[in-house]
Structure 1
Amino acid sequence: MSTDTVRAEAADEAAERRREQRGWYFYDWACSVYSTSVLTVFLGPYLTAVAKHAADADGFVHPLGIPVRAGSFFAYAVSASVILSIVVMPMAGAAADRTGRKKPLLAAAAYLGAAATTGMFFLDGDRYLLGGLLLIVANASLAVSMVLYNSYLPQIAPPEERDAVSSRGWAFGYAAGSLVLVANLVLFTAHDSFGVSESTAVRICLASAGVWWGAFTLVPLKRLRERRSPSASAGTSAHGWRQLAATVRDMRRQPLTLSFLLAYLIYNDGIQTVISQASVYGSEELGLSQSTLITAVLLVQVLAVGGALGMGRLARTYGAKRTILGSLVAWTLTLGAGYFLPAGAPVWFFVLASCIGLVLGGSQALSRSLFSHLVPSGKEAEYFSAYEMSDRGMSWLGPLLFGLTFQLTGSYRDAIISLVVFFVIGFVLLARVPVRQAVRDAGNPVPEMI
């Protein structure tokens, strides 16, 4: 084979890889609108208001006969969605690796979540139970789809490209969130001009996120390629669980990978809780308007695009691990400052939002790419199932702690400051992980800078 032929084939392979990477970015573009518009901005305050409307004279609702303070219902619903997620995710990851058919599973999870989100249009009056159910289904579906989506990263990007590819994916997601939030802000602030009530405007914003999620999922489903393993065959859930058990046993022989997952489990719990509860804190404790909250989250989205790409560049110089550790220090300082924010002062809330935006995307993107180096070849979906379980598996604890702290103290300030512990402990645990040795133990080449 001539040198020209080899070069041509290499160029064709690189072009195909870039095309697949661009398709992969679009799932972040599709699903991140749910995380931004629904989970971060609208659903928390709106579902809390619906629950308060259904509450008794003492401010409690009674799902399944259990007395729950209306202000804590949203946080508890998030926790319930995480519990469902950690039951379903292992089956999806094991089935994907066993059958080699990730795309049908990705499509099923994505469209179930999109349908549940679109159904939030019907959340009005005192239908807080409907809102909780749809939230649980949508969150669990998103978690399963992210297992499958993330597992493509080691397959579509060589080691030296992964920090950049992962960061671009997050940047795509935050760019989509910014674009849709602008439209949401116009509709919400000018709802009278559009001839709809404020409640209807919120429900349209919620449902439109589901439509967006479903529509843009078509792009990755078209461009991503299936990679069937030699042992791939039609499996059953029982086979999936047996394969997962084998993966768990295999991961026990990778103690450094498990050490990273433990650190990630803890600090990401803090990140996820801040994302899901920040709007409740802003509206209930600081007395900020919905328009102010939307503007603040829009600011987070815009800055997160640059933050994700910027931290990706920092990782080239300092390595992903050191860059993540720096972001955890920033998270700790930001939450500490958040405790002292004065009520009714949107400018200081915008400053806090700016700090969050600069570290949010990068800390998540680099965690994803760093973990991809710790995954043995051929076990991507199962290991990313464990990763997503670390993402979600203890993420019930943050909202639960947040909700319990408010229920016991009646103060959202106490609830928000309690989350600092996740970043401090996560920092200590991550600092102790020798990532180069972890990559070698997984049988992968060690990048020059990690």
Structure 2
Amino acid sequence: MTSALRTPSPEPRLLSKPVLAWGMWDWGSAAFNAVVTTFVFTTYLTRTPAFGGEAHVSAQLSWWISGAGVIIALLAPVTGQRADRSGRRKFWLGVNTYLVVAATAGLAFVAPEPDLLWLGLFLLAAGNIFFEFASVNYNAMLGQISTPATIGKISGFGWGLGYIAGIVLLVILYVSLIGPDVGIFGITSDNGWDVRISMLIAAAWLGLSAIPVLRVIPEAPGTAAPGAKIGILGSYKKLGRDLVGLWRDDRTTARFLIASAIFRDGLAGVFTFAGVLAVGTFGFSGGDVILFGIAANVVAGVVTIASGRLDDRFGPRTVIMAALIGLVTFGVVVFVLHDGGHTVFWIFGLGLAAFVGPAQSASRSFLARIIPPGKEGELFGLYATTGRAVSFIAPAAFGIAVTLGGAQYFGILGLILVIALGLALMIPVRLPQSVR
């Protein structure tokens, strides 16, 4: 297969202007990933009694996010395909990014009132949809600013920046607004203003960080012949034909999409349930969880950036396999030593964090290396779709394991099994000789 990577001129360096501009979007994405969906806004909804109680809000949240996932699964490949054909990849990256900015800023209007829960959930779901659409086009740009010799470290650099930025922004918000009784400019938690102002800061963080990639990286040429336009229905027909052809002619890519969907869901489960396990099984307080989250993201960021060089030297498959083996091993240790309290979770929990980022970054690198020219948006759209299609597996495995085991820590085994399944599915997947 012909590689999708195009050799830019001059040869891209890790700290070159195009790479830094591209990586700044990953840096800015932490505002949505860490602040909105993980540590700040979603916890504001679930812990604020005025919204209806933790169980009610959690259930509503899961339904809205699941609905967003269905929309992403249905539309991501087609939006990516149409961006490829039209040569407007950067344009749609900008449109979708600033729709995320708008949704994030809109969360500032979600005061702790029962009638405003729907607004918070709607904006969260919309933000998730547009963030995934933006990510499809952003990931598709990786081949434009890298070569086969540098793609691993550039992918790792961007992913690592996202982890580190999450910590920087969380610390800023915690110290200035959320942690103190009276924050900057006299802002307090009354009426949720500490969190609501944090949403405006997060929106500004993403909006400003997205500017460099939109100014520096050129628009990719379109793949459609002049005057050859197809509608939405035609796009789905073309997608269907491409999927049949992918399975018939390129089993490596098809099998990788399946395997990566499974293990990426397991990786997401590690972060999703880490805080729950820290509190319920290992006795962490809310403050302990924040400190652990900061440390875990620092570790993940540093190791992910470093792993990029291993990706380029030994190949992304080697990094993925090593990271997944490490996750299974450390997960088993955490399960066996669950009575060890804080010390066990700090040591081996940070070990788990060290393996998650490299697996994510090398997965992006693997796909970018094997995509045919002009298919980047479509296949990264499929990458998003396959991930969303199985996103129920890790939560279900966690819940079933807890139910069968009768204790929360059995959920660790559920996550281990999902990651182990992804590892097993990766064994027969190998890079074509032409792109090694």
The TM-score by the shorter chain falls in which range? 0.7 to 0.9
Aligned to 2:179: 189
Quick one: distance in 1 between partners of 2:198 and 2:117? 18
Identity of aligned residues (%): 26
Call closer, same or farther: CA 1:237–1:51 in 2, change over 3 Å. farther
Conservation of the 8 A alpha-carbon contact between 1:33 and 1:173? no
Query: Any residues of structure 2 matched to 1:209-248 within 5 Å, and which?
Result: 209-231=202-224, 235-248=230-243
Structure 1 residue 319, shift from structure 2 partner: 2.8
Aligned to 1:307: 303
* RMSD (Å), alpha carbons: 3.0
Aligned to 2:10: 13
Conservation of the 8 A alpha-carbon contact between 1:402 and 1:415? yes
Aligned to 2:3: none
Call closer, same or farther: CA 1:205–1:410 in 2, change over 3 Å. farther
What secondary structure sits across from 1:160 in the alignment?
coil
Aligned to 2:375: 379
Moved more, 93-102 or 240-249: 240-249
Equivalent of residue 80 in structure 1, options 67, 74, 78: 67
Find out whether 1:137 has 2:126 as its counterpart: yes
Query: Any residues of structure 2 matched to 1:241-280 within 5 Å, and which?
Result: 241-252=236-247, 253-280=249-276
Quick one: distance in 2 between partners of 1:168 and 1:258? 26
Aligned to 2:31: 33
User: Quick one: which amino acid aligns to residue 65 of structure 2?
Assistant: V
Call closer, same or farther: CA 1:344–1:34 in 2, change over 3 Å. farther
Structure 1 residue 83, shift from structure 2 partner: 1.6
Aligned to 2:4: none
Q: Deviations over 1:26-74 (max 9, x none)?
A: 111111231122223224433322478514xxx853xxxxxxxx55544
**5+ residue gaps, structure 1:** 1-9, 62-69
**5+ residue gaps, structure 2:** 1-6
Structure 1 residue 327, shift from structure 2 partner: 0.8
Q: Deviations over 1:353-398 (max 9, x none)?
A: 4223311221111111111122111211111111122333322433
Conservation of the 8 A alpha-carbon contact between 1:296 and 1:349? no
Quick one: distance in 1 between partners of 2:246 and 2:213? 29
Conservation of the 8 A alpha-carbon contact between 1:117 and 1:209? yes
What secondary structure sits across from 2:372 in the alignment?
coil
Find out whether 1:201 has 2:187 as its counterpart: no
Moved more, 100-109 or 393-402: 393-402
Call closer, same or farther: CA 1:138–1:30 in 2, change over 3 Å. same
Count of aligned positions: 420
Q: Deviations over 1:87-136 (max 9, x none)?
A: 22122111111111112211121112222222222332334433332221
What secondary structure sits across from 2:155 in the alignment?
helix
Structure 1 residue 259, shift from structure 2 partner: 0.9
Structure 1 residue 168, shift from structure 2 partner: 1.0
Conservation of the 8 A alpha-carbon contact between 2:21 and 2:216? yes
Quick one: distance in 2 between partners of 1:153 and 1:15? 11
